Amino acid sequence: MTRSYIRILSSLLVPTVVVLGGWAHSPDSQDSSAPAEDAAAPREVDPSAKATATIANQLPVDGCSFPVTIDGVDYAPNDASLEVIRDIVRAGSMITARISYRLTGNTGQVKCGFGTDRQVPEISVRVLYVIDDGTEN
């Protein structure tokens, strides 16, 4: 009888603790002594995510401006990333680079030729190093 009682109690108690523990440490719960976060601030998915990406500046040749492509998916760099990328990717070229990144959770805009725009997920990017700068050797 005692073993049955313990088994029933633990089957109820463990899930309850897991659920309550997850709630207590969720990003939505805030410590009242901690400074409030800006609701519009991007949330980090994985601050150490790294990938090999292509970054293009094809707008001058009727392509799109600065999409960051990882595994075939296009992302729009956020404003801070765009400032750095503009210095690295020449007009009409594309680079391949190793990057660290995080998705901001926002939707960004990539400008394309003929006055069109594309709405794609926004990304914060740091170029670790350039693998191919698009120039022929």
pLDDT digit string (tens) for 65-117?
A: 999 999 999 999 999 999 999 999 999 999 999 999 999 999 999 999 888 99
pTM: predicted TM-score of the whole model, two decimal places: 0.64
Specify the pLDDT at position 50. Answer: 96
Examine the pLDDT at 47 and tell me if it is beyond 90.
no
Phi, psi of 5 (to 5 degrees): -65, -45
Write down the mean pLDDT value for the chain: 76
Check the CA dihedral 125-131-133-134 and report its sign. negative
Q: Which domains does the chain have, with CATH numbers?
A: 49-132 (2.40.50)
Rounded Cα gap, residues 73 and 40, in angstroms: 24
Q: What is the structure's pLDDT at 137? A: 59
Least-confidence region, from 45-54, 105-114, 122-131: 45-54
DSSP tally for the chain: helices H, then strands E: 2, 5
Q: What is the DSSP letter of 30?
A: -
28 vs 7: CA distance, rounded Å: 33
Residue 37 confidence (pLDDT) above 50:
no
CA-to-CA dists, residue 116 to 21, 41, 64, 82, 136, angstroms = 47, 27, 9, 19, 30
